[in-house]
Amino acid sequence: MAVRTITHVDMDAFYASVEQRDRPELRGLPVVVGASPGGRGVVSAASYEARRFGVRSAMPISRAVRLCPSGVFLPVDMDKYQRASAEIMAILGDFSPLVEPVSVDEAFVDLSGTAGLFGPPDDAVRRIKARIRAEVGLTASAGLATNKFVAKVASDLEKPDGLVVVPPGTEPQFLAPLPVERVWGVGRVLAGALASMGIATIGQLQRMPVATLARRFGKHGRQLHDLAFGRDDRPVEPSTPAKSIGAETTFGVDCREPDRLRRTLRGQAERVTRELRQERLAAARVTLKLRFADFRTLTRSHTGDPTQDGLEVYRRAEALLAREAATEPVRLIGVSVSRLDVEASGQLPLLDSAVVRRERLARAVDDVTTRFGEGALVPAPLLRRPRRMGGPRQSRRGSRSSGFLGRRRPAETPSSSASTPPGERV
C-alpha cells in the first residue's frame, strides 16, 4: 500500500494576524481580539506579542486586561476573517482536491500522489506557505506526516511560521517525548487518570500494555494506544458535514432569574434550528451548557427523535435546565444540537401533525427573516411586556408558545451564535 502524505495547515494567531495585516500600526503590538474589555466574554485570539503576557484564547477578557493592560483590544470581525479563510482554502485547493477544513483557520490536505505536479511533499508545503504569505499576507504553520493525527501534532510545535516533517516510520519516536495531553481526546480529567497510572508522556503511554488500557478505559483505551504509536487511518474528507450547531449568551451581570434563563434558551433554540433548516438538517441530541459565576461549567444532554423545530429543541433544553434546579448565579447559558441527519425531518409529519404545522410556520418565518432581516418576526415569549403609562401591564397577544409577533428584538443578545465558527486553534 502506498504511503499517504498529509499536511495540516494552521494559521498563526489568525484573527489577530488579520487585524495586524489590515492595520500596519498594530504590527508588533499586543493585539487581543474578542469581547469588550469591560465586558464578561472571552478572548477569541491573541497575537504572539500578547501571548508573552500570558494572554490565551478562551481566557476571560477581564483577566486578559489585567495581564496585558497595554494591549489593543478589538472586537471580532467574522466577515473579514471568513473572507481571508476563503482565500486560504482556495490556495489549498490548488494543491489537492482533498482538502478538509477543520475550522476557519486550519485544514488537512492530502498530498498523496501529487509529487509529479508539485515536487516532494515538503517542497509542496513550502509552496503552500509561500503562496499564503504572498497572496493573503499571513503566515501559516504546517505539519507533514503519514496521517492526520501526527500532522496535527507536528503543525503546533514550531509556531509561528513553522514546518515540521515527520518521516514515515518515525511516528513513535517523534511522539514519545511529548506530553500525553497532545493525544486527541486527552483532556484534564483523562490526563489526571493517566497520571495516576504513572503516565505523563506519550512514550510512557506507549509502554503501557494495550490490555491494561482497555480494562481501564474500554474502547477508548485501545484508541489511546493506537494514537500513542501514531496510528490513524482516517481519510481526509473534503465535505465533512457539521457535527454540531450551537449558540451561547454571556450575561452582563450573573443571572439569578429563571424566567430570563428560559427566555434566553428559547431565543437560542430558534437561532440554532433556523440554521438547521437552512442546512436541511435535523438534530437528535440537544445539549444544555451552564457556566456559573465561579467559571465552573456544566453540560447536560438529551437524545430523542430528530427535529428542526425551535420549540421542541427549547422544550428539551428547558427540561434539562429544570432537572438541574441550579440556584447559583449563571454567567453563561447555551444550547447546542448534534447527531445531525440530512432530511431526517421529512419523517416527522407521520409522527405528529403539530410538529409539521410548527415546521411550516418556522419556514415561513425563515422566509420573512431572509427578506426583512433578523428580528422581523420572533416568538411571542421573547417579547417583553410593555407598560402603559399609569396603567396595568398590557396583555400579550399570541399566547401560544409557538406564536410569532414582530417587530421586536429578542430579550438577550448572544455572545456567540451557531453561525459563528469557534475561536481559532492556537
Amino acid symbol at 43 = V
Cell numbers found for residue 151? 500532522
Q: Using CA atoms of 327, 328, 332, 335 in order, give the dihedral in degrees to the nearest 10.
A: -30
Residue 201: DSSP 8-state: B
Q: Given 100, 106, 312, 424, which residue is catalytic? A: 106
Cα(263)–Cα(228) distance, integer angstroms: 46
Q: Could you count the other beta carbons within 10 Å of the beta carbon of residue 172?
A: 14
C-alpha count within 13 angstroms, C-beta hemisphere, residue 340 = 20
Cα(308)–Cα(296) distance, integer angstroms: 30
Per DSSP, the three-state class of 271 is helix
Cα(337)–Cα(268) distance, integer angstroms: 11
Q: Is the CA virtual torsion 176, 178, 180, 182 positive or negative?
A: negative
What are the φ and ψ backbone dihedral angles of 69, each rounded to 5 degrees? -65, -20
Cell numbers found for residue 374? 433578523
Instruction: Kindly tell me the burial class for residue 55, based on how many C-beta atoms sit within 10 Å of its own C-beta (0-12, 13-18, 19 or more).
Output: buried
Q: Which of 151, 125, 47 is nearest to 424 (CA)?
A: 47
Residue 416: DSSP 8-state: B
- 237: annotated active-site residue: no
Q: Which of 425, 422, 58, 57 is nearest to 242 (CA)?
A: 422
Cell numbers found for residue 341? 441527519
Helix axis angle, 310-324 relative to 258-278, nearest 10°? Answer: 140
Give rounded-to-5 percent helix, strand, coil for the chain.
40, 20, 35
Cα(399)–Cα(387) distance, integer angstroms: 17
Q: How many residues does the chain have?
A: 426
Q: For the chain, how many helices (H) and strands (E)?
A: 15, 14
Q: Hey, which residues are catalytic here? A: 106
